[in-house]
Amino acid sequence: MIHKLEPLPYAYDALEPYIDEQTMRIHHTKHHQTYIDKLNAALEGQKALQDMKPEKLLKNLNTIPETIRTAVRNHGGGHVNHSFFWPLLKKDVKLEGKIKDAINTKFGGFDSFKKAFSSTAALLFGSGWTWLVLDKNDLQITTTPNQDSPLIQGQTPLLGLDVWEHAYSLKYQNRRPEYIEAFFNVINWNKVDEHFRTAS
Ligand SMILES: [Fe+2]
């Protein structure tokens, strides 16, 4: 199986003004596409690995031949993380459902959760991701460096925020906290709830 870039589930300008059209277009058609191209290149000639879902490759990294393990970790991670990220973005979705109750119980309310998630994302050094994950049935805010996926650690991602500069610098330059604040206007909580229900 050759991995392919799926279209976004919305128009490139659907998240304006919070995430701008040009950023979405470049992020999807250039950055995400490059991770896919490099993953395909790493898996060339490896029929069994090509036929595995990329999530499964990440969950079983230690079984991947050492010569391509880092490439699969980085580019497979980039592919999986971005494929997970796009459907998490939608304007005007209210936090409700089972995930709302779980966030309230764990973090003492949405505002506390938002504060903790935002400061974790703002403080992440360099390029990486900030996540809300389920770890052994416990909700946790975590970060991963580079394109590492929480799947590598056996965690289930529920919500992820790309804090690589390529995700925000066209519009926000170096103002990552403004991008994080904007992100909270485009979280598709229905999708987060769906991930939570599937995993718990
Ligand atoms: Fe990205």
Question: Cα of 31 to ligand 1 centre, how many Å?
Answer: 6
Confidence of residue 182 (pLDDT cuts 50, 70, 90): very high
Question: Cα of 132 to ligand 1 centre, how many Å?
Answer: 17
Question: Cα of 196 to ligand 1 centre, how many Å?
Answer: 23
Question: Cα of 84 to ligand 1 centre, how many Å?
Answer: 11
**Phi, psi torsion values for 136, nearest 5 degrees:** 50, 50
Question: Cα of 194 to ligand 1 centre, how many Å?
Answer: 22
Question: Cα of 148 to ligand 1 centre, how many Å?
Answer: 12
Question: Cα of 105 to ligand 1 centre, how many Å?
Answer: 31
pTM, two decimals, is: 0.97
Res. 155: pLDDT tops 90: yes
For the chain, the average pLDDT equals: 97
Question: Cα of 91 to ligand 1 centre, how many Å?
Answer: 19
Res. 126: pLDDT tops 90: yes
191, 90 Cβ separation under 8 angstroms: yes
b/e per residue, 35-49, with b = 16+ CB within 10 A?
A: bbebbbebbeeeeeb
Question: Cα of 135 to ligand 1 centre, how many Å?
Answer: 23
Place of tokens 């995930």: 99
Question: Cα of 145 to ligand 1 centre, how many Å?
Answer: 12
Torsion of CA 125, 128, 131, 136, to 10 degrees: -100
Confidence of residue 1 (pLDDT cuts 50, 70, 90): confident
Distance of CA 35 to the CA centre of its chain: 13
Question: Cα of 108 to ligand 1 centre, how many Å?
Answer: 30
**Phi, psi torsion values for 83, nearest 5 degrees:** -60, -35
% of the chain exceeding 70 in pLDDT: 100
Range 110-116 average pLDDT: 98
* Cβ-Cβ contacts under 8 Å for 167 (sequence gap 6 or more): 23, 27, 179
Range 162-180 average pLDDT: 97
Res. 200: pLDDT tops 90: no
Res. 102: pLDDT tops 90: yes
Res. 121: pLDDT tops 90: yes
